[in-house]
Amino acid sequence: GDGIDTGEILRPVAEYSLILVGTRDRVTTITLNRPASFNALNGAVADEVCLALEEARTDDRIGALVITGAGRAFCSGQDLKSIQEEGSGGDIGDSVRSHLRLHFNRMILAIRQLPKPVVGSINGVAAGAGMSLALACDLRVGTETSSFMQAFARVGLVPDAGSTYLLPALLGSSRALDLAWTARRVGADEALAIGLLNRKVPEANLESEAQELAASLARGPALATGLTKAAIYGAGERGLAAALDLEADLQARCVATDDFQEGVTAFLEKRDPRFGRSPTRS
């Protein structure tokens, strides 16, 4: 139901109550499924996303992921009611610190450390921690109705769930401060222009475009795809000299794979390569 095609891999429904998980054409789609709250995040949602990410990480049949939201929003951010409830009867500061570390931070790190591409299908608003979730995705596809908002300042908070790192890494520090301080809404055209969106497509085509982008990445060389993700995200922390050394080490691993042999053969034979599924092929 809900338009999610489980296709070749079926998930036990009992595992998930707040998200939908389905896999088709080697792409797992994780759909935040709290449309009445515009898919607001709480600890339980984040934990279910982490479980789905771990299943995808360990399954060689899955080559890429899509993260999206049910209904008219991608994700409206932290469920503020749950913060108040968790802080009642104790120190709310300690409660929020633990909540972020145990739930949201684990989810963001799981996406970034997943050795497979993650495409954000931004159907509507991505606000607050929901924008952080969108930023954690490797690529983002949206429509005219997509928008982004660093909503934290509106309730007297600092950006969290990774936004203080992810936003300046993507946009630079000055643009990041602009969005964080003003908490203004960034529409689809500006988002595309500054790099918050990688693609803007007609609204009716969002699901199919995100699926096809992820499927095309899933057809790529699994080891090289995962190593490229890790190398690019780590480059800013290493510096150029260390990045050059790492590239040499990673390339040594890639040229020893069946995928490299297939890629060269396909190039010489002027055909599309047919890469293997497993990242551990050698």
Taking only the tens place, the pLDDT of each residue in 137-162 is 999 999 999 999 999 898 888 999 99
Q: What is the average pLDDT across 126-137?
A: 96
Q: Tell me how far apart the alpha carbons of residues 43 and 110 are, in angstroms, rounded to a whole number.
A: 15
Q: Is 252 exposed, middle or buried (0-12, 13-18, 19+ CB in 10 A)?
A: exposed
Q: Tell me how far apart the alpha carbons of residues 228 and 111 are, in angstroms, rounded to a whole number.
A: 15
pLDDT in tens, 161-189: 999 999 999 999 999 999 999 999 999 99
Give the CA diameter of the chain. Answer: 69
Q: What is the average pLDDT across 233-242?
A: 82
Q: 6-43 in b/e burial notation, b at 16+ Cβ within 10 A?
A: eeebeeeeeebebbbbbbbbbbbbbbbbbeebbbbbbb
Q: Tell me how far apart the alpha carbons of residues 75 and 233 are, in angstroms, rounded to a whole number.
A: 24
Q: What is the pTM of this model?
A: 0.88
CB 200 within 8 A of CB 192: yes
Higher pLDDT, 205 or 255: 205
- Give residue 69's pLDDT: 97
pLDDT in tens, 69-111: 999 999 999 887 776 666 555 677 888 888 888 899 999 999 9
3-state secondary structure of 7: coil
- Give residue 14's pLDDT: 56
Nearest to 197 by CA among 151, 148, 235: 148
Strand ranges inside 179-252, DSSP E: 185-186, 199-200
Q: Which residues contact 105 (CB under 8 A, 6 or more apart)?
A: 161, 162
* Encoded amino acid at 156, one letter: G
Q: Tell me how far apart the alpha carbons of residues 197 and 190 are, in angstroms, rounded to a whole number.
A: 9
CB 188 within 8 A of CB 142: yes
Taking residue 265's Cβ as centre, other Cβ atoms within 10 Å add up to 12
What's the chain's average pLDDT? 89
Nearest to 126 by CA among 136, 134, 115, 118: 134
